[in-house]
Amino acid sequence: MDQLTPKDVDHIAQLAYIQLTEEESEKMRVQLSDILGHFQSLASLNTDGVEPTGHTTDSNTIMRKDEPEPPLDQEDVLRNAPDRDGEFVRVRPVLE
Amino acid sequence: MATQAVNSELFFSTARQLRTLFDSRETSSVEVTRMILDRIEVLEPQLNSFITVTPEHAVKQAEIADQRLRGTGQEPTPLTGVPVMVKDNFSTKGIETTAASRILKGYIPPYDGTVVHLLREAGAVILGKGNLDEFAMGSSSETSAYGPVHNPWDIERVPGGSSGGAAAAVAAGECFIAFGSDTGGSIRQPASLCGVVGMKPTYGLVSRYGLLAFGSSLDQIGPLTRSVPDCADALNIISSHDPHDSTSVRAPFGDFGEGLNAGISGMKIGVPREYLVEGIEPGVRSAFEQSLKTLEDLGANITETSLPLTDHALAVYYIIAPSEASANLSRYDGVKYGLGATDASTSAEATEAVRGRGFGEEVKRRILLGTYALSAGYYDAYYKKAQQVRTLIRREFTDAFLQFDVLVTPTSPSVAFKIGDKTDDPFQMYMNDVCTIPVNIAGLPSISVPGGMSEGLPVGLQFIGSQFGDATVIQAAAAYERSTSWHQRHPTI
């Protein structure tokens, strides 16, 4: 396993929308490289033709009737918003 | 109830014993709730096992419970009037829910999760919210943004994690039962390190609706108690099919305590040798060997066996769990709740800033790890490969249960370690869960019970059952518990 580069870490952090300080970024680079190194043992196992397991209950798509239920109380929901304008949640501009 | 000695006996009694005191009118739920709230106030500066305590809520619930116990309300359940804690990753309507993260500070859920709802219906008295590793990611309860939890057996040591607050509170007599979540050992490992009973039921037996999601294919809610019968009673109450959680099963929910007194004579018990890992502490090993003798004396057939894929379980887990976490935690964007960034100039900058400031180091590490494993070019080598090995691990367990009724292993390779000892080496920390993780990968039921002492600290014994073999696991654990006294030892805090 090759070590992750600082560029790799920047790329992942960008995909995950997490701002890292330079110090954090370097620490993550070293630690993630170490952890990924421990994963290499899996490559030694033959998994040709083995179905992947996503979950263990063997249930497939669960259907239910689309019946409306009483909604959550609007004020209970909105009071949690960090930036609110009346009945609206305010967000920063999406387009620059 | 006046003397200190009587009080400490009361605080360390089981929920079933408490119930007999209620029924004989020796005490009431309100009286016990008030006393335990006082105890929490005294102990919290040392333990920090609660993030939030809700005294007014608790007393109000206790008053209603007392009416039920006196026959003037709904029929009481085994949990009516019993003071309990729920981990702070359970949504509680009107009560702050943080998952021990800065990013959720001040978040007041607009709804109760299903388990919280079922506990309220059963008449349990919810005392407050238990401290944990941030978003349940950790094995020591040190990554909480609200400070580490201390082990009541030695406050310089960790209680395990991530349900460390729950385990410490049950061990210290700050509640009678606590409810935690277990993604890779987060109920059983702290139960082991604090000397209490902790159970992860079969995946799908308990609704996850309202549990702040970490690894959705692995997460399961379960009880931490001071006895196996209490554990069965609690599981009877929280297990249900829930239309709000499509992964909750429609299994016939029998009485999980049906085998509590059945014993284990003739039961076939397998001991997978891979669980006696390299680096297991000698004290843990000798306690385990002693436990095997006890099980044999009870008439069980003990046979050594081998589950060779166990060695790969840690890698599978640390690919699948962070991958699922990276998706689940994408909802924390600082828009609808929690920390915000009103100073940012764009939406994307705000999200990055909120997540950079709001998540702690371990959570960031796991999100980045999962994002990497799922990213273009790596998906097949990591995520898909791990899911395929997951299939092989499940098959290995299925084969083992053709031969055995239960498997028995140590719960953790070590006793409680010192706070700060493992925080610099994430992989070393991950190794704590080496005996508990395979169970989540296969979705099986498993219980940890007090199974010895080493260096004055508790050692846990883990029973693993086949899928939906929850009652059998409880049966084996109950027989073991009845013939040992480890569960009757309590810390002198």
Domains plus CATH for chain B?
A: 4-264 (3.90.1300.10)
A24: chain B residues, CB-CB within 8 Å? 361, 364
B392: chain A residues, CB-CB within 8 Å? 45, 47, 50
Where along chain A do its domains lie? Answer: 1-41
Residue B245 to chain A, least CA–CA distance (Å):
10
Q: Does A53 touch chain B (CB under 8 A)?
A: yes
pLDDT value of residue B2: 40
CB contact under 8 A, B315 and A38: yes
CB contact under 8 A, B315 and A39: yes
pLDDT value of residue A16: 98
**Average confidence (pLDDT) over B374-402:** 96
User: Which member of A42, A73, A83 has the closest CB to residue B110?
Assistant: A73
CB contact under 8 A, B315 and A93: no
**Average confidence (pLDDT) over B363-377:** 96
B30-58 pLDDT, tens digit each: 999 999 999 999 999 999 999 999 999 99
Active site residues of B: 87, 162, 186
Strand B125-130 relative to strand B83-87, pairing: parallel
CB contact under 8 A, A42 and B385: yes
DSSP string, B17-73: HHHHHHHTTSS-HHHHHHHHHHHHHHHHHHH--EEEE-HHHHHHHHHHHHHHHTTSS
Residue of chain A with shortest Cα separation from B314: A39
User: Which member of A12, A31, A42 has the closest CB to residue B312?
Assistant: A42
User: Which member of A12, A91, A96 has the closest CB to residue B335?
Assistant: A91
**Average confidence (pLDDT) over B212-237:** 98
User: Which member of A16, A47, A82 has the closest CB to residue B389?
Assistant: A47
B92-132 pLDDT, tens digit each: 999 999 999 999 999 999 999 999 999 999 999 999 999 99
CB contact under 8 A, B391 and A76: no
Measured distance CA(B275)–CA(B285) in Å, rounded:
10
pLDDT value of residue B286: 98
**Percent residues over pLDDT 90 in chain B:** 92
**Position B418: which residue type?**
K
Mean pLDDT of chain B: 96
B467-487 pLDDT, tens digit each: 999 999 999 999 999 999 999
Mutate to test the interface with A, among B388, B394, B437 (most CBs of A within 10 A): B388
Residues 6+ apart with CB under 8 A from B17: none
Q: Which candidate, B38, B45, B48, B50, places its Cα nearest to that of B4?
A: B38
- Retrieve residue B216's tokens: 């959705």
Query: ipTM above 0.90?
Result: yes
**A57 confidence band (pLDDT: 50, 70, 90):** confident
Residue A4 to chain B, least CA–CA distance (Å):
11
B416-466 pLDDT, tens digit each: 999 999 988 888 888 889 999 999 999 999 999 999 999 999 999 999 999
pLDDT value of residue B3: 43
**B252 confidence band (pLDDT: 50, 70, 90):** confident
Whether pLDDT at B333 is above 60: yes
- Stronger pLDDT, B423 or B188, i.e. the higher one: B188
Superfamily of domain A1-41: Glu-tRNAGln amidotransferase C subunit, N-terminal domain (1.10.20.60)
**B376 confidence band (pLDDT: 50, 70, 90):** confident
Q: Does A59 touch chain B (CB under 8 A)?
A: yes
**pTM of the prediction?**
0.97
CB contact under 8 A, B390 and A47: no
**Average confidence (pLDDT) over B137-149:** 97
pLDDT value of residue B266: 98
Whether pLDDT at A45 is above 50: yes
CB contact under 8 A, B203 and A57: yes
Whether pLDDT at A96 is above 80: no
Mutate to test the interface with A, among B368, B395, B430 (most CBs of A within 10 A): B368
**Average confidence (pLDDT) over B346-369:** 96
Quick one: three-class SS letters along B417-454?
CECCCCCCCHHHHHHHHCCCHHHHHHCCCEEEEEEEEE
Residue of chain B with shortest Cα separation from A40: B315
Q: What is the DSSP letter of B306?
A: -
Q: Does A66 touch chain B (CB under 8 A)?
A: no
**Average confidence (pLDDT) over B382-394:** 97
CB contact under 8 A, A45 and B312: yes
Rg (alpha carbons) of chain A, rounded to whole number: 22
Measured distance CA(B288)–CA(B462) in Å, rounded:
10
- Stronger pLDDT, B7 or B284, i.e. the higher one: B284
B372: chain A residues, CB-CB within 8 Å? 8, 12, 32, 36
Q: Which residue has the tokens 């009877």?
A: B236
Provide the chain A residues 9-38 that lie in CB contact (below 8 A) with chain B: 9, 12-13, 15-20, 24, 28, 31-32, 34-36, 38
pLDDT value of residue B6: 56
Q: Where are the alpha helices (DSSP H) in B152-281?
A: 164-172, 188-194, 228-238
Residue of chain B with shortest Cα separation from A45: B389
**Position B199: which residue type?**
M
Q: Which candidate, B245, B284, B247, B280, places its Cα nearest to that of B115?
A: B245
- Retrieve residue B364's tokens: 């960031």
